[in-house]
Chain A
Amino acid sequence: MTSAAIETPQRVTARRRRPVTLVVGCVLAGLIVVVALLSLFWLPYSTSDLSGGRLAGPSAAHLLGTDKLGRDLLTQLMVGARIALEVGCGAVVLGGILGVAAGLAAGFATRWLDDTIAATLDILIAFPVLLLAMLLVAARGASLATAIVAIGLGSAAIVARLTRVLVKRILGQDYVTAARTSGTSWPRIVAEHVLPNIWPTLVVNLALQLGVAVLAEASLSYLGLGTPPPNESWGRMLQEAQATVLTAPLGAIAPGVLLIMLVVGVNLIADGLRDVADPTRRRSR
Chain B
Amino acid sequence: MLHYLLRRVAFLIVTLFLATVVLFLLLRLLPGDPANSLLSVGATPQQIAAARHEIGTDRPLPQQFVTWLGQVATLNLGHSFVSTLPVGSQITSRLVVTVPLTLLAFALAIVISVPVGFLAAYKSRRWYGAVLGGVSQLGLAVPVFWLGMLLVVIFALKLRVSPSGGFPADDWANPGAALNDLVLPVLTIALVMSASLIRYVRSATLDVLDSDYLRTARALGSSFVSAMWRHGVRNASVPVVSILGIELATTFLGAVVVESVFSLPGLGSLLVQGISEHDYPVIQGVLLVSTFAVLVIGFLADLTQRLIDPRLRAPHPGAAR
Contact = CB atoms under 8 A, between A and B. Distances in A.
B138 A8 contact: no
A260 B141 contact: yes
Contacts, number: 153
Interface stretch (B55-63, B67-75, B175-183, B203-211): B203-211
Interface stretch (B77-85, B220-228, B293-301): B293-301
A135 B32 CA distance: 10
Nearest to B198: A12
Contacts of B305: 2
Interface stretch (A13-21, A64-72, A182-190, A192-200): A13-21
A138 B278 contact: yes
B130 A259 contact: no
A219 B32 contact: no
Contact of A11 (B157, B203, B278, B297): B203
B143 A125 contact: no
Given A123-B294, A131-B253, A256-B143, A4 B239 contact: yes
A264 B153 contact: no
Contacts of A230: none
B76 interface: no
Contacts of A97: none
B275 A263 contact: no
Contacts of A9: 199-200, 203
B146 to A, nearest CB: 5
Contacts of B209: 285
A252 interface: yes
A42 interface: no
B319 interface: yes
A246 B153 CA distance: 8
Main secondary structure of the interface of A (DSSP, over half): helix
Interface residues of B, number: 64
Contacts of A215: 141, 143
Contacts of B243: 5
Contacts of B133: 13, 17
A125 B245 CA distance: 12
A252 B149 contact: yes
A256 B141 CA distance: 10
A101 interface: no
A4 B238 contact: yes
B149 A2 contact: no
B199 A12 contact: yes
Contacts of A135: 26, 30, 275
A149 interface: no
A35 interface: no
Interface in A261-285: 262-264, 267-268, 283, 285
- Which of A2, A131, A219, A235 counts the most B-chain CB atoms under 10 A from its CB? A2
Contact of B137 (A14, A223, A267): A267
Contacts of A7: 239
B242 A1 contact: yes
A235 B32 CA distance: 26
Nearest to B31: A139
B30 A139 contact: yes
Contacts of B15: 119, 123
Interface string A223-244: 1000000000001001000100
A2 B32 contact: no
B42 to A, nearest CB: 24
A11 B134 CA distance: 15
B271 interface: yes
A219 B256 CA distance: 11
A130 to B, nearest CB: 6
A78 interface: no
B86 to A, nearest CB: 22
Given A2-B239, A139-B30, A8 B145 contact: no
Given A222-B145, A245-B149, A5 B253 contact: no
Given A12-B202, A223-B257, A264-B137, A5 B242 contact: yes
Contact of B320 (A2, A127, A139): A2
Contact of B275 (A4, A134, A238, A259): A134
10 contacts: A1-B245, A9-B203, A125-B250, A126-B290, A128-B256, A135-B26, A138-B30, A138-B276, A219-B257, A246-B153
Interface of A: 1-5, 7-17, 115, 118-119, 122-123, 125-128, 130-131, 134-135, 138-139, 165, 168-169, 172, 211, 215, 218-219, 222-223, 235, 238, 242, 245-246, 252, 256, 259-260, 262-264, 267-268, 283, 285
Given A1-B302, A259-B143, 17 more contacts: A1-B298, A2-B239, A2-B242, A3-B319, A5-B246, A13-B133, A16-B125, A115-B321, A126-B246, A126-B249, A138-B32, A211-B140, A223-B257, A256-B142, A260-B138, A263-B140, A264-B138
Interface of B: 11, 15, 19, 26, 30-32, 124-125, 130, 133, 137-138, 140-146, 149, 153, 157, 199-200, 202-204, 206-207, 209-210, 238-239, 242-243, 245-246, 249-250, 252-254, 256-257, 260, 268, 271-272, 275-276, 278, 290-291, 294-295, 297-298, 301-302, 305, 319-321
